[in-house]
Structure 1
Amino acid sequence: MTPSRQQYIEQYAEYAMEQMRRYGIPASVTLAQGIIESADGRSTLANTANNHFGVKGTYNGNYVLADDDRPNEKFKKYDSVGQSYEDHSKVLMAQRYRKHTAGLAADDYRGWAAAIQRGGYASDKRYVSTLVSVIEGAGLQKYDKMVMSQPRCQATAAKNSSAVATGSYSIPVKRDSFMLVTSPYGNREDPLNKGTMQVHHGMDIKTNREAVLATENKGTVVGADHRTNTAGGKTVTVEYAREDGSRVRVQYMHLSEIAVKKGDTVNAGQKIGVSGATGTRVTGEHLHFGVINVSRDGKMQWVNPAAYLADISQKGNLKIEAQHNGRNLLSDYQSKGSGTPEQKQATPEGWLSKLMTSEDAAIGTDGGRGLLGSLMQMLMTMLMLTMKMEGKSRDEKMAAINEAVTQRRIDLSSMTPNLKSASLTVTEGGKAVLVTHDGKKEYRHELTAEEQQRLTAILNGDGDDAAKRQKIGCLVNAVTFSQQASENYEQIASERQSQEQHLQRK
């Protein structure tokens, strides 16, 4: 390694690490890009404009002229190298890059390098290999590990020689074990427009008309929108100041009630509203939790709420997870020494067991005891049978389990090939409702106690899985046939009565 490169790394590694803490971009990638773009800090732009990444345009009206694709192009002129690093991170947070980087781990420098190029950062086909070569040649990946092992809260505490007091931070909803995330931050299929992809600027957390809480002390309510005809419905926005002059805004959408007003000061754990399902873009009850970074010059940028929640969880020593399909989303941003257990890949069976004993599964289902609990156990046993038959991938199984537990519904169509569709739902009132469609008409039937007992006997019987699936299919078909026969009889009886009345009038 050349002396100039070594000097650059020693001087600016902390800048790159800070950007990783703020935006989740691997420090190794940022530092390597700075090395390449600024020629180890020796380029004209770096020395005359503090521009270490060759970013074009103006910064607060300031720029320098330099030849690039065309003569005398404008390049941003910064007051400090720190501004250059911050601005570069915001460039990579643009949608053109985020659609490729969404879901990548914070220390996956190879994945980030490839994703950035796909977003159009560089036209050179060798860019990824060049970037990775610089990273690995200088061992820059160690800075990613340093950030993961020493989160921002620990660095700040060491700098200020004081620990953050427990009670200064809170998760947005009260949970003892984990929050159930039904839709994470990043690219997803638009739930209201199937087949269309969209960027989800937040994290959807399963709720049940419960209090939503402020996450830090000394927050200022900067927005309290009571309208229900907007996409987010009733929304509260709370802003928290940072020592460097930047701010963090936390948004709570789709609320049913708002308990604060604009200008209020709120503290960690304070109720700011009640979750709900208001707004024009909502498919059901949940809390949409969003986080926005606001720079000192007022520029706003959506960030992954998982990074923010991991940060405050470690600051406040909050032993909590944000689980989505068997994976803790906070683990990418938490150090192994933070008290968080090492992330292991959950099995579908393990995920089902964890969900069934969670607070979210217990909401409205008597904690797994009594009639509702028994019905849910029956429903989940049937789910495992259907998944074995359908040959789903692991990810598909995890998603199916998540949907089945949260919606209390499973698809039985694979067990009833002669029907167009069949499903079983457990209602909040403790009723098992079978819905079938024969291709012409939909039939709804509330299972009787005897039919529920028959299903339970089949599931707990000694037969193999194939036999159990066949018996359940026969039961569903029998119920549907009975419904068809009953409706046909009623229709014939009604027609006969009409005929008799017509004859009497004659």
Structure 2
Amino acid sequence: MAIKSKRYKTKKKNKIANLFIKQGRLRWFNTLGFATLLFMLALFVSQIYTTKSTDKLTQKNEMTQVQSRTAWLKKIAPYAQRLQKKYGVLASITLAQAAHESNWNDSQLSSKYYNFYGIKASSGQAAIKLPTSEYIDGKWITVNARFRVYTSWQASMLDHTLLLVNGTTENPNRYYRVLHARNYKIAAKALYQAGYATDPTYATKLIKIIEQYHLDRYDY
């Protein structure tokens, strides 16, 4: 039995060897095919490893981003609560608008000029002219606008609250429904309906931010 087994292994080795060399000649087609197969296998394994590494890096970056955003919200939340207590604007709305309008305090208008809410400047007010996107006639367009420049982020938040409280010159009660909303969902929808923003998904975006970061816990 041992002799037969040895012969079988020898024949098997010869059979495999014949796939690549026969009668002293290299069988290019088989050799190239095998090399290609090995290359594809190595590439596949490499892609799996790269994908896993990328996923881990993305997850780590997302965690860092969430931590950074949460820290920023915690910093400005106490002042948002003070404004709610005095004027009645939900703190969650004040915070969500600040996050959305300023791109999490990453926009030039916010980080350099303390304007969290994209509030436009009136005549005689300190201002900076910057491009902004507006949703007009069913499409987004870029326009240049004069935005208010503040000396502190607290001044920006106070001005935003007073805008909602006092309304506009043509309509002092423009944000009445926002001020008297029972919860953040009603307030967010009322903001869009009152024309605070032209983006048709504005309310949905605010609600998503509030719920993702549990900002309603700051509401009285």
**Superposition TM-score, scaled by structure 2 size:** 0.60
Deviations 1:157-214 (A, max 9, x none): xxxxxxxxxxxxxxxxxxxxxxxxxxxxxxxxxxxxxxxxxxxxxxxxxxxxxxxxxx
Q: Does 1:129 align with 2:204?
A: yes
Aligned counterpart for 2:186 among listed residues 105, 111, 122 = 111
On the 8 A contact 1:97/1:116 being kept in 2, the answer is no
On the 8 A contact 1:59/1:76 being kept in 2, the answer is no
Q: Does 1:142 align with 2:206?
A: no
Aligned residue in 2 for 1:92? 164
Q: Which amino acid letter does the alignment assign opposite residue 200 of structure 2?
A: K
Aligned residues: 143
Q: Does 1:51 align with 2:115?
A: yes
Aligned residue in 2 for 1:13? 77
Runs of 4+ in 1 over 6 A off after TM superposition: none
SS in 2 for 1:64: strand
Deviations 1:27-53 (A, max 9, x none): 001000000011111110011210000
Aligned residue in 2 for 1:31? 95
Quote the offset at 1:126 in angstroms. Answer: 1.5
On the 8 A contact 2:89/2:179 being kept in 1, the answer is no
Residues 26, 59 of structure 1: CA spacing in aligned structure 2 closer, same or farther, 3 A cutoff? farther
Deviations 1:62-86 (A, max 9, x none): 1111012565421000010000000
Matches of 2:99 and 2:83 in 1, distance apart? 15
Instruction: Kindly indicate whether structure 1 or structure 2 has the higher relative contact order, using CA contacts under 8 Å at least 6 residues apart.
Output: 2
Matches of 1:110 and 1:61 in 2, distance apart? 33
Matches of 2:195 and 2:147 in 1, distance apart? 18
Aligned residue in 1 for 2:195? 120
Matches of 2:91 and 2:103 in 1, distance apart? 18
**Superposition TM-score, scaled by structure 1 size:** 0.27
Q: Which amino acid letter does the alignment assign opposite residue 175 of structure 2?
A: R
Matches of 2:95 and 2:205 in 1, distance apart? 13
SS in 2 for 1:97: coil
SS in 2 for 1:67: strand
Quote the offset at 1:91 in angstroms. Answer: 1.4
Structure 1: segments with no counterpart, 5+ residues: 149-506
SS in 2 for 1:6: helix
Higher strand share: 1
On the 8 A contact 2:131/2:144 being kept in 1, the answer is yes
Aligned counterpart for 2:155 among listed residues 83, 94, 107 = 83
Q: Which amino acid letter does the alignment assign opposite residue 174 of structure 2?
A: Y
Matches within 5 A, 1:111-260: 111-144=186-219, 148=220
Q: Which amino acid letter does the alignment assign opposite residue 86 of structure 1?
A: L
Residues 96, 125 of structure 1: CA spacing in aligned structure 2 closer, same or farther, 3 A cutoff? farther
Aligned residue in 2 for 1:260? none
Bigger radius of gyration among the two: 2
Deviations 1:337-367 (A, max 9, x none): xxxxxxxxxxxxxxxxxxxxxxxxxxxxxxx
Q: Which amino acid letter does the alignment assign opposite residue 99 of structure 2?
A: I
In percent, how many aligned pairs have the same letter? Answer: 30
Matches of 1:119 and 1:48 in 2, distance apart? 28
